[in-house]
Structure 1
Amino acid sequence: MKFGNVLLGVLVAVVWGFNFVVADEAVADVPPFLLVALRYLVVAVLFMPFTRRAGLAWKYIVAVGLLYGVVQFSGLFLGLKLGVSAGVSATIIQSQALLTIVLAWFFLDEKFGALQWAGLAISGTGLTVLSVSGGENAPLLGVTCVLIGAAGWACSNIVLRKAGKISPWTMTVWQSVAVIPPMLALSLIFEHGQVGTVTHMRLDTFGALLYIAVLATGLGNYLWYRLIQQEGASKVAPFSLLVPVVGVVAGWIVLDQALSTRQSIGVVVILVGLALIVLAPQLRARFAPRKEPGNEAGNDETTAQPAAVEASTE
């Protein structure tokens, strides 16, 4: 992997990880449902004029918009509003990887190896420890909201898989039209003071909104998709493991959100499990038995195994 792309991968992880701290500050002044609507409104205004829909089916736009935009970010921002710290939120939301594996196995009949299931079990254990840890940084109701957000993200991954080859950037921008109306409706029903919140928004809150929309969504997604195109998903995916680490460290430094011993253990266990899931294809390829010289044509079992490894890596 090129050194410049390694730096870009780290940059994306830092931008996304710090986004949890920024969002934590933003929900102190902006109600969570309204914040989601404003986030996608900024994305639509800035990027939609320069992004053609290019035949992307509306059924996928609406489905991903509702699951990824509405459910995920409503759950995340509501969890932050209810007191879940930036670091804990950044870690819990990554449980979408675990839920995606289970959903893909059930609905898409995708096969996963023993390493990935072991990683799933390990991360699930860490998530359980973190969820029941309690304390001011992980109230149960807030943790539940973030978990619901993670479930929405996981379901959107299944929809994207069903959609086939589509432009991720086009989906990122155009799902705004499916997110803004329901989020405004939810805000009008469950929140109040929307006009005053917008017209009297503080400069730092407005800056946080721009960070969430422009940097975390615009720059972050663009660089991520570009890296995947240049280097491949298997090489780029491990950088996502840095996101909760950055979220935990940034929350500690900027917001003074220290974790309890039990919460710290939960975070570490989750990251170990996620690392095992993400790196499973590389580990299988590295430790798989190699073909012995001279057996290429005479040993069906030997020749079949590398093909299976290659397929699982893809």
Structure 2
Amino acid sequence: MKPGHIALGLAIAIVWGFNFVVADAAVGHLPPFLLVVLRYAVVALLFLPFTRRGGLPWRYIIPVGLLYGVVQFSGLFLGLRLGVSAGVAATLIQSQAAITIVLARLVLKEKFTAVQWAGLTVGAAGLVLIAASGGASAPLLGVLCVLIGAGGWAASNIVLKRAKNVSAWTMTVWQSVAVIPPMLLLSGVFETGQVPAVTGMAPLTILAVLYIALVATGFGNYAWYRLMQQVGPAKGAPFSLLIPVVGIVSGWLVLGERLTGPQILGVVFTLAGLAVIIFAPQLIGVLRRLIRRPAVSAESTESTSA
């Protein structure tokens, strides 16, 4: 993996990880489904008039919008509504990395080495530690809803890879057409007080919506789509393991939240697992050299004795 791809993956993790701190502030003043509508509405209003669809087929726009925008966020927010804590939900949604890799193996026949599987296992263990450390409830039905959301995100990664050379920016902007109508419907069915919530937004809430729309959605989605296209779902998806780590650290730095021992250990496991996945080729090369070296030394000793 090239340094530019690693930098892009890290930037996505930082932007989306910090987004949990911003979203926490926004959800205190806006219904969550409505917040999804606003994030895509801002993108559509600012960029749709200036972004031509060009040759981007609807057969890619609609599935990505529905899977990534609607299924993911509906599952995530329904899980929150059913009692899953924000920290646990933020961690569970990253199971999309493992689901993506399985789908990439089954659908796209992408390769994933034993060393990378080991790294994924270590990273997943870190996420489990983080999820279990909060002490908040995680009801089964709510957990299943969040996992469905993770499945939607994972499936959208496969669609993005199949789309190949389509413009990542065009996809970022035009998927709002597929996201806004169903999310408006969900907001209308499950939420109330949308009009006063929007008209009474405080300046900090407006800034939070703009960050979520322009930075997390505009830049974040665009960068994610490019990463999926350039390195593939199996190699790109594990970067999402860093998102809850950044979220926890951001909460500590910005909100003064204390880090527990299991959380610190989970962060270490997650970082170690991601490092193994990213640098798997180099690690495999080192292991092969270490294995060959004793064999070469033994042959040299035998030759000398002869």
State the percentage of identical aligned residues: 63
User: Could you tell me the TM-score, scaled by structure 1's length?
Assistant: 0.76
Q: Which amino acid aligns with 1:119?
A: G
Aligned to 1:54: 54
Residues 1:3 and 1:168: Cα distance change in structure 2 (over 3 Å): closer
What is the distance in 2 between the residues matched to 1:132 and 1:8? 29
Q: Measure how far apart 1:210 and its partner are.
A: 0.6
Which string of whole-angstrom CA distances, capped at 9 and with x for unpartnered residues, describes residues 16-38 of structure 1? 32111001111111111111111
* CA 75–227 in structure 1, closer or farther in 2 if over 3 Å, else same: closer
* Counterpart position of 2:217: 217
Matched, 1:170 2:170: yes
Q: In the alignment, what sits opposite 1:248?
A: 248
3-state SS in 1 of match to 2:135: coil
- Report the counterpart of residue 183 of structure 1 in structure 2: 183
Per-residue CA distance 1:69-92 (angstroms, 9 max, x = gap): 112233444556656345x55544
Q: How many residues align?
A: 287
Amino acid at match of 2:192: H
2:126 and 2:180 map into 1 onto residues whose CA distance is 34
8 Å CA contact retained: 2:80, 2:86:
yes
Displacement of 1:180 after TM fit? 0.3
Is it true that 1:268 corresponds to 2:268 in the alignment? yes
Q: Is the 8 A contact 1:74 1:149 kept in 2?
A: yes
Per the alignment, residue 135 of structure 1 pairs with 135
The reply on whether 1:41 has 2:41 as its aligned counterpart is yes
2:24 counterpart residue number: 24
What is the one-letter code of the residue matched to 1:248?
Answer: I
Which structure 1 residue ranges, 5 or more long, are not aligned?
290-314
Partner of 1:197: 197
- Hey, what does 2:296 align to over in structure 1? none
The answer to whether 1:84 aligns with 2:85 is yes
Q: 1:199 to 1:176 in 2, by over 3 A?
A: same
In the alignment, which residue of structure 2 is the partner of 1:306?
none
SS in 2 for 1:55: coil
Contact 2:97 2:238 in 1 (8 A): no
Match of 2:279 in 1: 279
* Matching residue of 1:295: none
Distance across 2 between alignment mates of 1:90 and 1:124: 13
Partner of 1:155: 155
Unaligned runs of 5+ in 2: 290-306
Give 1:305's aligned residue. Answer: none
What TM-score, normalized by structure 2, do the two folds share?
Answer: 0.77
User: Which range moved further: 208-217 or 266-275?
Assistant: 266-275
Question: 1:226 Cα deviation (Å)?
Answer: 7.7
Deviation, structure 1 residue 42: 0.7
1: CA distance between counterparts of 2:223 and 2:125? 32
Say if 1:3 and 1:177 are closer, same or farther in 2 by CA, change over 3 A: closer
Is the deviation greater in 67-76 or in 150-159?
67-76
Give RMSD over aligned pairs. Answer: 3.6
Higher mean displacement: 95-104 or 126-135: 126-135
Note the C-alpha offset of 1:287. 5.4
Aligned-pair CA distance for 1:174: 0.6
Question: Cα gap change, 1:109/1:256 in structure 2, threshold over 3 Å: closer, same or farther?
Answer: same
